[in-house]
Amino acid sequence: MYSISKENLNSLYSAIAGSYDLFMPIKSAGQTNYGFWSEGAEGDIDTLKTIRSGKDAFFPQVEQLYKVNREIVPADVASGEDAEKAADTPVRTKLKVTPGKLVDQDFVIFGMRACDVRAIEVMDNVFLTDPVDSYYQSRREHGIVVALACHEPEESCFCTVFGVDPADPSKAKADVATWVIGDKLYWKPLTEKGEALTSKVASLFEQEDADSKVEEEKAYIEGIAKQLPNADLSLEGWGAGKTDEKFKSEVWDKVYKGCLGCGTCTFVCPTCQCYDIKDYTTKDGIQRYRCWDSCMYSDFTLMAGGQNRQTQLQRFRQRFMHKLVYYPTNNDGMFMCVGCGRCVEKCPQSLNIVKVIKAFAENK
């Protein structure tokens, strides 16, 4: 196993950024969120939860799909007498379509927690299933994920309920697993991508037999995780094949009340993948882009016929049915929640997924 002193982490970030774009937790204005690291940026791997997850690296909040430019060209005219009519000949418009550029260079996502790595697996099932989303696919092919153990899980965390191990990022589908123990970061490559990245920065590391330290750290983290308020949250009654039972339940009539439809839960969620596609006019054409959207908004999927979900109850139910029933029904039982707890912290009305699960349990 490799190790590096925490005081030398900026040198590690700089070395990685010398060969790859480095996407990692950055502290700015007192908050920590993912962004591209550059000299002078404050990398922050001590904060447990970034505001949003590293999902942005693979599924950006805004992404241009293509642009269409108009080119005005003269209409073709014949020679001879028809040439005299050239001045009166109408022009024609030629359209040039330029697709958005696919990512074609490797980049590193540093410091992803195990729950957020699991969230990428959830996204893979959506965007890498036929028809494959080429924009997402190119990012996944070139992304190198460095996962980081959670030294002290917080009260809002409940990832273990969904089978995520916050103590052992080597179990996540990442390329490198890391642990911060004391004043050192320990580094373990897991895949060919991880080995390639490690070779680029190997001169900064020391080789160390740290297995016993890592095992002690795992036990410490697991001990905290078992004592968290929602560690025993039961998923009984949820999952594949529960559509009719849950959809028709009267619990929704009570539990949705108070929802503001603000969409905060969907924008901090690492697994939400709803998006809208919009066009806007430029001087010589249009640009088409996609951007995150929320099933909690009243105009989500609104069409001329008005066939979207009409009430906040319907929208609220859709969100949690998707996480806990529809997605596992279509993906071999995998839930579309990873227990990161961001919605628990951010919902202004405390109408999060934990409250929904508990409300149904109390109604038995």
Q: Which has the minimum average pLDDT: 42-56, 197-211, 294-308? A: 294-308
Whole-model pTM: value is 0.90
In this structure, are residues 339 and 115 in contact, taking their beta carbons and an 8 Å threshold? Answer: yes
In this predicted structure, the answer to whether residue 82 has a pLDDT above a threshold of 80 is no
- Tokens representing 362 are 């109390």
In this predicted structure, the answer to whether residue 218 has a pLDDT above a threshold of 90 is yes
- Tokens representing 266 are 């969907």
Measure the CA–CA gap between 124 and 103, rounded to whole angstroms. 17
Q: How confident is the model at residue 282 (pLDDT cuts 50, 70, 90)?
A: confident
In this predicted structure, the answer to whether residue 358 has a pLDDT above a threshold of 60 is yes
**pLDDT at residue 71, as a whole number:** 78
Instruction: Give the pLDDT mean for 280-285.
Output: 85
**pLDDT at residue 152, as a whole number:** 96
**pLDDT at residue 308, as a whole number:** 77
Instruction: Give the pLDDT mean for 317-325.
Output: 96
Strand arrangement of the beta sheet that strand 275-282 belongs to: 91-99, 62-74, 285-292, 275-282
**pLDDT at residue 84, as a whole number:** 54
**pLDDT at residue 85, as a whole number:** 55
Strands 107-112 and 143-148: parallel
In this predicted structure, the answer to whether residue 83 has a pLDDT above a threshold of 70 is no
Cα dihedral sign, 189-193-199-202: negative
Measure the CA–CA gap between 50 and 178, rounded to whole angstroms. 17
**pLDDT at residue 285, as a whole number:** 86
In this predicted structure, the answer to whether residue 80 has a pLDDT above a threshold of 70 is no
In this predicted structure, the answer to whether residue 303 has a pLDDT above a threshold of 80 is no
Instruction: Give the pLDDT mean for 39-50.
Output: 95
Q: How confident is the model at residue 72 (pLDDT cuts 50, 70, 90)?
A: confident
pLDDT digits (tens, 9 = 90+) for 92-115: 678 889 999 999 999 999 999 999
Measure the CA–CA gap between 237 and 225, rounded to whole angstroms. 23
**pLDDT at residue 284, as a whole number:** 79
Bridge partners for 144 per DSSP? 108
Bridge partners for 93 per DSSP? 72
Instruction: Give the pLDDT mean for 251-267.
Output: 94
55-68 CB burial, b ≥16 within 10 A, e <16: bbbbbbeeeeeebe
Average pLDDT, the chain: 92
In this predicted structure, the answer to whether residue 74 has a pLDDT above a threshold of 90 is no
* The Cα angle at residue 316 between residues 315 and 320, in degrees rounded to 5: 115
Q: Which has the minimum average pLDDT: 84-93, 141-150, 218-227? A: 84-93
